[in-house]
């Protein structure tokens, strides 16, 4: 019987995979290196595909009782005007929006659900540091926590440990990077109830791009810095950034001055990369560990969750019946890889177009096809549809929607 699963990393990919496998009665342990789920300026967007998955498991309504904001559109705002890139409000779904909820709230909610399953274990503060190998196959991990070094044996180990994956490094997987031209500096500014709402906006001005995300009482603001120019920007200090914010977001007025200490900002080194092969005997990588996504479109969490759904669809039966083969792991890569590479290629194309304009200090105009697309009924819904669900939606198999009788989670804690 091969039914023990070790998941390294309790981010969106790891926690959703754990939920889907543990509901089916498999023995699942998540090892999470951090002591809690709190993350500063991490991806906090929950797309309709994620909310629909949780709804099918009877969890969405309770999740959405937790504090969150909603974005109905993603827009480009330039000197010439506003172009809607993706409009979720026209999608035929119970959730026609992006729910913006801090990862700590989302992941703690999942952990709370999972703790009622006797076959699930979450170890916080547990850093995976080695792989256990037997006759060339991975058979679990070695990890370190406050109690010292431990071994956890498992029939399948899944690396869900994010963009700097230790499991990827331990497994000898090679990461191929695609070059990009901008990094993002995240900081916060106060928000008033009368400020614009319902949108994720990307303001493109001379030399820089600004992204604003509504966090209810504050704005999450992203400011682009050309790659390699971080030290130069830091030496110039917050003044040029305040001036840019004031120019692009005049309605924010004097509040731009609230970003007055460089140490309050967090740099996101933007990367797009993926491993060539996602698996080895006994070991699989999913989410950012397998493919690092740019923040363009805010789809990183959506793709990580869709990887988890695809993995659950393909691996649950072989794990349950003790017949798991390396070829099953290959099927997960086959299902997901081409879709991920299409998203990454699109991101690189968009990013290069924006960088070219920013480098040339010119005004940005959204690409003509996008402008045309945004004005034609039917076609204008496509970008929203692809952002919400990916090019091809990945749905949880019907027979996996019902929990195995012995593993029905207790609801309403
Ligand atoms: C600043 C920033 C902003 C972003 N904004 C967005 C956004 O708006 N929308 C969006 O969709 N995406 C966004 N992303 C990307 C998004 O956060 C990721 O794509 C998504 O979280 C990937 O999920 P994951 O589960 O694969 O990895 P992660 O969320 O990175 O989770 C990996 C987990 O593994 C743990 N871990 C790491 N090493 C070990 C180890 N050795 N042992 C055990 N545990 C380990 C980490 O602590 C972490 O909890 C952003 C990313 C960053 C950095």
Q: Which of 49, 50, 45 shows the shortest CA–CA distance to 19?
A: 50
- Assign 1 a pLDDT band (cuts: 50, 70, 90): very low
Angle of CA points 273, 337, 2, to nearest 5°: 110
Q: How far is CA 212 from CA 243, 298, 347, in A?
A: 16, 12, 19
- Assign 413 a pLDDT band (cuts: 50, 70, 90): very low
How much is the average pLDDT of 236-253? 92
How does pLDDT run across 154-202, given as a tens digit for each residue? 999 999 999 999 999 999 999 998 877 789 999 999 999 999 888 899 8
CB 199, CB 74: distance < 8 Å: yes
Task: Kindly report the protein residue whose alpha carbon is nearest to atom 2 of ligand 1.
Answer: 42
By the 10 Å C-beta count (0-12 exposed, 13-18 middle, 19+ buried), 371 is classed as middle
Pocket test for ligand 1, best of 301, 347, 387 (most atoms within 8 A of CB): 301
CA of 135 to the centre of ligand 1 (A): 32
CA of 288 to the centre of ligand 1 (A): 7
> Does position 364 have pLDDT exceeding 70, yes or no?
no
CB 241, CB 295: distance < 8 Å: no
Measured distance CA(246)–CA(312) in Å, rounded = 47
Measured distance CA(206)–CA(351) in Å, rounded = 15
Predicted local distance difference test score (pLDDT) of residue 406: 58
Task: Kindly report the protein residue whose alpha carbon is nearest to atom 35 of ligand 1.
Answer: 9
CA of 121 to the centre of ligand 1 (A): 20
Could you count the other beta carbons within 10 Å of the beta carbon of residue 362? 11
Task: Kindly report the protein residue whose alpha carbon is nearest to atom 27 of ligand 1.
Answer: 162
| Ligand 1 atom closest to residue 45's alpha carbon, by position in its atom list | 9
pLDDT above 90 as % of the chain: 69
DSSP assignments along 41-55, one per residue: T---EE-HHHHHHHH
Pocket test for ligand 1, best of 6, 8, 10, 11 (most atoms within 8 A of CB): 11
Pocket test for ligand 1, best of 220, 295, 306 (most atoms within 8 A of CB): 295
3-state secondary structure of 130: strand
Question: Token pair 């549809």 is at which residue?
Answer: 385
Pocket of ligand 1 (CB under 6 A): 8-14, 31-34, 41-45, 127-128, 160-163, 166, 186, 268, 287-289, 293, 295, 298-302, 304
pLDDT above 70 as % of the chain: 94
| Ligand 1 atom closest to residue 143's alpha carbon, by position in its atom list | 42
How does pLDDT run across 47-96, given as a tens digit for each residue? 999 999 999 999 999 999 999 999 999 888 887 788 888 899 999 999 99
Q: 127 — alpha (psi -120 to 50), left (phi > 0) or beta? A: beta
Measured distance CA(388)–CA(122) in Å, rounded = 29
CA of 107 to the centre of ligand 1 (A): 11
How much is the average pLDDT of 373-377? 74
| Ligand 1 atom closest to residue 34's alpha carbon, by position in its atom list | 47
CA of 146 to the centre of ligand 1 (A): 23
CA of 269 to the centre of ligand 1 (A): 13
Domains annotated for the chain, with CATH where assigned, are 4-66+101-178+272-348 (3.50.50.60), 72-96+182-269+360-391 (3.30.9)
CA of 299 to the centre of ligand 1 (A): 12
| Ligand 1 atom closest to residue 307's alpha carbon, by position in its atom list | 26
Predicted local distance difference test score (pLDDT) of residue 362: 64
Question: Token pair 């480009």 is at which residue?
Answer: 76
H/E stretch holding 73: strand 73-78
| Ligand 1 atom closest to residue 302's alpha carbon, by position in its atom list | 11
Average pLDDT score, the chain: 90
- Assign 376 a pLDDT band (cuts: 50, 70, 90): confident
Pocket test for ligand 1, best of 44, 49, 162, 302 (most atoms within 8 A of CB): 162
Task: Kindly report the protein residue whose alpha carbon is nearest to atom 4 of ligand 1.
Answer: 43
CB 185, CB 223: distance < 8 Å: yes
> C-alpha dihedral over 34, 295, 342, 71, to 10 degrees?
110
> Does position 370 have pLDDT exceeding 80, yes or no?
no
How does pLDDT run across 32-44, given as a tens digit for each residue? 999 999 877 677 8
């Amino acid at each position: 019987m091969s039914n023990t699963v070790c998941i390294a990393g309790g981010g969106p990919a790891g926690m959703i995979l754990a939920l889907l496998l543990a509901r089916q009665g498999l023995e699942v342990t998540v090892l999470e290196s951090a002591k809690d789920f709190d993350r500063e300026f991490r991806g906090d967007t929950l797309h309709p595909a994620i909310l629909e998955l949780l709804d099918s498991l009877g969890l969405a309504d309770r999740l959405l009782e937790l504090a969150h904001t909603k974005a109905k559109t993603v827009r480009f705002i330039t000197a010439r005007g506003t172009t809607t890139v993706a409009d979720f409000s026209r999608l035929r779904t119970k959730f026609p929006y992006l729910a913006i909820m801090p990862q700590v709230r989302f992941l703690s909610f999942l952990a709370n659900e999972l703790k009622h399953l006797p076959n699930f274990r979450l170890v916080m503060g547990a850093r995976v540091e080695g792989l256990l190998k037997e006759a060339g196959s991975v058979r679990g991990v070695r990890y370190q926590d406050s109690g010292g070094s431990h071994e956890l044996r498992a029939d399948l180990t899944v690396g869900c440990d994010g963009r700097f994956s230790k499991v990827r490094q331990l497994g000898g997987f090679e990461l191929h990077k695609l070059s990009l031209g901008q990094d993002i500096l995240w900081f916060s500014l106060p928000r008033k109830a009368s400020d614009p709402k319902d949108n994720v906006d990307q303001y493109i001005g001379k030399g820089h791009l600004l992204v604003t995300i509504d966090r209810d009482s504050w704005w999450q603001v992203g400011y682009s810095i050309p790659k390699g120019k971080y030290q130069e920007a830091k030496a110039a200090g917050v003044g040029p950034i305040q001036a840019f914010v004031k120019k692009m977001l005049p309605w924010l007025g004097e509040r731009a001055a609230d970003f007055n200490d460089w140490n309050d900002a967090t740099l996101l080194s933007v990367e797009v990369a993926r491993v060539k092969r996602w698996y080895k005997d006994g070991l699989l990588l999913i989410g950012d560990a397998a493919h690092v996504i740019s923040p363009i479109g805010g789809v990183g969490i959506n793709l990580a969750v869709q990887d988890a759904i695809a993995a659950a669809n393909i691996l649950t039966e072989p794990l349950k019946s003790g017949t798991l083969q390396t070829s099953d792991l290959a099927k997960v890569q086959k299902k997901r890889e081409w879709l991920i590479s299409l998203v990454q290629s699109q991101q690189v194309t968009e990013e290069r177009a924006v960088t070219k304009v920013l480098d040339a200090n010119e005004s940005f105009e959204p690409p003509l096809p996008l402008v045309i697309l945004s004005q034609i009924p039917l076609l204008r819904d496509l970008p929203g549809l692809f952002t919400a669900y990916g090019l091809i939606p990945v749905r949880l198999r019907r027979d996996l929607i019902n929990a195995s009788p012995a593993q029905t989670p207790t609801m309403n804690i």
